[in-house]
Structure 1
Amino acid sequence: MPVLDLLDLPAACPPGTPWLGLDLGENTIGVAASDTSRMIASPLELIRKTKFTQDAERLIKLMNGRNVSALVIGLPMNMDGTEGPRAQSCRAFARNLDRIQPVNVAFWDERLSTSAVERFLIEDLDLSRKRRAGVVDRTAAAWILQGALDRVRDQATWV
């Protein structure tokens, strides 16, 4: 699995193939998908973690079913920019997944993504705590993926 700089990801992926965004939590994996033009990220699914092999099988099924060429994984950096245990866990997840199914991977700094999504769901959509619980992780995955897509698109317009 090549771990790539986000800005190198488009060149490594066939045109017209979508990407998946992942928000790796302790108990869940939020999954989002881009469209084939890689313009829009949409929440897709919430995988409740069980065993790594089962979680990976579900993720691979999603990847293969959508002809995904890359994963953008949210990297939970510390506020001072260093990587802590959660970031190391995300990197380990990517390495372990690569042993089963090689795929291009880029990491995206996800600091405060969950809190931004929570704020959006409360203030803009007025969702109750119970309703938020079911959508926050996959919406955070879409937030992560959309941020990465926007960064790639913005870089392409400046070159």
Structure 2
Amino acid sequence: MKLVKPLNLFNELLKKNPSKRGRFLGLCINEQHVDLAVSDPDNLYAVPLSVIHRHEGSMDLMADKFQTLISEHNLAGFVIDSPYRTNSTRCDSGAIKNFIFDLLITRKFPGLKYTFWSDQIATKHMDFVVEHNVKFILEDLNLSQLDPKEIVDKFAAARLLQGYLDCVHTSVELDKKADFHK
């Protein structure tokens, strides 16, 4: 695995043939679990995928799960919650650093690239989506016994990945406009 800058990860993907581009996996890591989200095939939208409980086994077993996800979803890279920010309530910086280190020493992902992103750089659109999905889950599906905070936490990786996708797409569009006006 190799750490790259956020925009470089996306630009490398754009250089590939569109039929071979792949998708991104968003990871929000804490001591108890890893929330996962995956981008759609066009890398426009993030969708919550699952939660892996960290006590389920060794890092080798978790790495095997990631290898399965890589092949199932044609993953091109990981977007991981940044351990270099402050005031996060969802993800612990020590847990993130330890998780990445443990994942690196498995040596199971030699060609895979990853980047860090902060869920604090999220969009208003994602806040709207999360709020309305939670409302739908609680009210329309008659699941009022669920805790709204727990549900919102399940969207942590999707929020992280959606913020990344929105930002890199905006950056690419701005670059295209700047090139056009030259």
SS at match of 2:92: helix
What TM-score, normalized to structure 1?
A: 0.78
Q: Are 1:149 and 2:165 an aligned pair?
A: yes
Amino acid at match of 1:87: S
Do the aligned partners of 2:35 and 2:156 also contact (CA within 8 Å) in 1?
yes
Hey, what does 1:21 align to over in structure 2?
26
- Shift, 1:22, TM fit: 0.7
The farther-off stretch of 25-34 and 140-149 is 25-34
Hey, what does 1:95 align to over in structure 2?
101
Hey, what does 1:86 align to over in structure 2?
92
What is the number of equivalent residue pairs in this alignment? 152
CA RMSD of aligned residues (A): 3.0
Hey, what does 1:104 align to over in structure 2?
113
What TM-score, normalized to structure 2?
A: 0.70
Equivalents in 2 of 1:3, 1:139: separation in Å?
24
**Alpha carbons of structure 1 residues 153 and 110: separation in structure 2 relative to 1, 3 Å:** same
- Shift, 1:125, TM fit: 4.2
Q: Are 1:2 and 2:2 an aligned pair?
A: yes
Hey, what does 1:11 align to over in structure 2?
11
Alignment of 1:18-97 (within 5 A): 18-50=23-55, 51=57, 52-76=59-83, 77-79=85-87, 86-97=92-103
- Shift, 1:109, TM fit: 1.2
Amino acid at match of 1:72: V
Identity of aligned residues (%): 26
Equivalents in 2 of 1:123, 1:96: separation in Å?
33
| Post-superposition CA distance 1:13-62 (Å, at most 9, x none) | 34431101011122111110001210010011111112322222222211
| Post-superposition CA distance 1:90-119 (Å, at most 9, x none) | 133223323222321011112497xx69x8
- Shift, 1:122, TM fit: 9.3
Do the aligned partners of 2:30 and 2:95 also contact (CA within 8 Å) in 1?
no
SS at match of 2:100: helix
- Shift, 1:130, TM fit: 2.9
- Shift, 1:133, TM fit: 6.6
**Alpha carbons of structure 1 residues 111 and 9: separation in structure 2 relative to 1, 3 Å:** same
- Shift, 1:123, TM fit: 7.4
Amino acid at match of 1:143: R
SS at match of 2:170: helix
Equivalents in 1 of 2:53, 2:95: separation in Å?
17
The farther-off stretch of 127-136 and 49-58 is 127-136
Equivalents in 2 of 1:12, 1:106: separation in Å?
12
Hey, what does 2:179 align to over in structure 1?
none
